[in-house]
Homo-oligomer: A and B are copies of this chain.
Amino acid sequence: MTDREHMGLWAFIRPTTIHTAGWRFPGANPRANFDLAELTRAAVKLESACFDALFMADHLSLLNMPMDGLKRSHTATSFEPLTLLSALSSLTQRIGLVATGSTTFDEPFHTARRFASLDHLSGGRAGWNIVTTANPDAARNFGFEDLLGRDERYERAREFVRIVTGLWDSWHDDAFVCDAAEGIFFDPRKMHALNHKGRYFEVDGPLNIARPPQGWPVLVQAGASAAGMRLAAESADVVFTAQTSLEGAQAFYRDIKRQTVAAGRLEDPCRVMLGTLVVVGRTEQEARDKRALMDRLVHTDSALASLSVALGHDISALDPDGPLPELPVTNQGVSSQRRVLEIARREGLTTVREMAQRVGGYFGHEVVGTPAQVADQFERWFRERACDGFIVMFPYLPQGLDDFVDEVVPILQERNLFRRGYEGSTLREHLGLSRPANQFL
């Protein structure tokens, strides 16, 4: 374990269940994804367990799936991340607040300003999950017929991130002297206009908000393509990954750490966080039964629609009992398609229907078992350097979350694998990350 004393624990709260049918589970609040009281209760409870952060994924459209599946999706209505996390910032004191923001369909000035504002409102708890948005339905909400190609999306993202971090450094930390006697509000020598002129953007600056308490809000990145990993290695404090095998996760872990060092970042390597669905039972059998029930609650229409999303191709016109044809190269996210095809090969699934039933609920990393078994698995993946921590996905709210917080977290704390109290007050402090110096000082 050496330098890595504690694992990280983040909570995936949008959607509140990653499993397609989680909202239908007996006892689940089916409206949890859009129920402010339920989300507030979750945030307060996760903070009582000293979680590092709440993590909000996001979409800029409905899921791009046929209506037969879409009408079964509990994500069709959600709060917008920056507004929800700002509201939750007033109801919590320590937990980090990580919102997804698109570099393809938003402006760097707005993005820099809103995350800076959330960082100030929360006393240094903001994080930005940088996404390039690979959903063609999102493009059509912003006047684009088609998406940019993946490489171009990532080129734009790199420039976008440079602008945002440059705007965050518009002011020295001590620029605002507020000298009422002399009538000087700020020291002009401590202001920096960016005057960026690049391939995709021209942004003058300075930003009209003081430097964030964290210097820069925490930067998170999740793309698994070569371009995504390059962006992560250059810029990200945290990488969110979706590995399903221990060996694959270890290889990814080594690769991203190596690329980070190669990019010149010796002191603050990326933290690798593994998205993990956790289903807890009093016995192993109870946990397995719960997990099996979740899959049984997935309607065939929903399974087929989810397979389309996972593959980045509409498969609704295919014969469900025929084989999946060779797919052309897609412009959308590569990691989920790759994982589906791996699972199909590994498990000998040949027809579209077999694949849909297998991946229609959830097909990422998961841990199913008793609290001790879950803790064992977390400990092993952490100690064996498959990850630095977990972005925990709860099967449903509220009980699925309570099971993890009440039963699993105390075991991790007893084993000294997770904190018993917050050591600091900012998200960077929770993660053991240094505060970036102002690049213009």
A residues in contact (CB < 8 Å) with B: 21, 23-24, 28, 30-31, 34, 36, 59-62, 67, 70-80, 82-84, 86-91, 105-107, 109-110, 113-114, 116-118, 120-121, 137, 140-143, 171, 176, 178, 180-181, 183-188, 201-206, 208-210, 297, 299, 302
Which residues of B sit under 8 angstroms from A75, Cβ to Cβ? 208
In the complex, chain B residues whose CB is within 8 Å of the CB of A141: 109, 203-205
A24 touches B180 (CB 8 A): yes
CB–CB A140/B210 < 8 A: no
Please name all residues of chain B whose beta carbon is closer than 8 Å to the beta carbon of A188 when the two chains form the complex: 67, 70-71
Query: With A180-B24, A180-B28 given, is the CB distance from A210 to B71 under 8 Å?
Result: no
- Chain B, Cβ-Cβ closest to A90: B90
- In contact, B28 and A62 (Cβ under 8 angstroms): no
Say whether A171 contacts B109, CB under 8 Å.
no
| With A185-B23, A188-B67 as contacts: A84 and B209 at CB distance below 8 Å | no
Judge whether A118 and B73 touch: CB under 8 Å: no
Cα distance A109–B186 in the bound complex, in angstroms: 36
Query: Could you show 5 A-B contacts with beta carbons less than 8 Å apart?
Result: A31-B176, A76-B176, A79-B121, A109-B141, A183-B297
Do residues A87 and B84 form an inter-chain contact, with CB atoms below 8 A?
A: no
Query: Quick one: closest B residue to A178, CB to CB?
Result: B30
Q: In the complex the two chains form, is A36's CB within 8 Å of B83's CB? A: no
- Whether the pair A114, B82 counts as a contact (CB closer than 8 A) is yes
The one of B142, B178, B180, B186 in contact with A203, judged by C-beta atoms closer than 8 angstroms, is B142
Residues in B neighbouring A137, C-beta threshold 8 A: 204
Shortest CB-to-CB span from A87 to chain B, Å, is 5
Contacts A142-B203, A143-B201 supplied; 6 other A-B pairs, CB < 8 Å:
A23-B178, A28-B180, A70-B188, A82-B82, A82-B83, A84-B117
Question: How far is B207's CA from A80's CA once the two chains are assembled, in angstroms?
Answer: 11
A interface secondary structure, majority: loop
Smallest Cβ-Cβ distance to A211: which chain B residue: B77
Least Cβ–Cβ distance between A64 and chain B, in angstroms: 11
Residues of B within 8 A of A91 (CB): 90
Distance in angstroms between the alpha carbons of A34 and B82 in the assembled complex: 19
Chain B residue, CB-CB nearest to A61: B208
Q: Which of B62, B88, B205 contacts A208 (CB 8 A)?
A: B62
Assess A121 versus B180: contact at CB under 8 Å? Given A209-B77, A210-B34. no
Q: In angstroms, how far is the closest chain B Cβ from the Cβ of A292?
A: 17
Assuming A140-B204, A143-B202, is B183 touching A114 (CB within 8 A)?
no
A187: chain B residues within 8 A (beta carbon) = 71
Of all chain B residues, the one with the shortest Cβ separation from A89 is B87
The reply to whether A208 and B76 contact each other, CB–CB distance below 8 Å, is: yes
CB nearest neighbor in B for A68: B188
**A185:B87 contact, CB within 8 angstroms:** no
Residue of B nearest to A302 (CB): B183
Q: Which residues of chain B are near A77, meaning CB under 8 Å?
A: 171, 176, 186, 208-210
A25 to chain B, nearest CB (A): 8
Shortest beta-carbon distance from A159 to chain B in Å? 12
**In the complex, which residues of chain B have a beta carbon less than 8 angstroms from the beta carbon of A114?**
80, 82-83
- Which partner residue on chain B sits nearest A139 by CB separation? B204
User: Which residues of chain B are within 8 angstroms of A178 by Cβ–Cβ distance?
Assistant: 23, 30-31, 74
Residue numbers in B under 8 Å from A71 (CB-CB): 184-188
Q: Which residue of B lies closest to A113 (CB)?
A: B80
Complex interface: chain B residues within 8 A of A62 (CB): 206, 208
Bound together, the chains give a CA A110 to CA B102 distance in angstroms of 11
Q: Which residue of B lies closest to A179 (CB)?
A: B30
Shortest Cβ distance from residue A69 to the other chain B in the assembled complex, whole angstroms = 10
Question: How far is the CB of A88 from the nearest CB of chain B, in Å?
Answer: 7
Write out the residue numbers on chain B whose beta carbons fall within 8 Å of the beta carbon of A67: 188
Do A79 and B209 touch (CB < 8 A)? yes
Q: Are A83 and B205 in contact (CB under 8 A)?
A: no
A142 touching B84, Cβ below 8 Å: no
Q: Are A23 and B180 in contact (CB under 8 A)?
A: yes
A302 to B76, CA, bound (A): 51
CA–CA, A2 and B84, complex, Å: 41
Closest beta carbon of chain B to A102's beta carbon, Å: 10
Q: How far is the CA of A23 from the CA of B186 in the complex (A)?
A: 13
B183 touches A299 (CB 8 A): yes
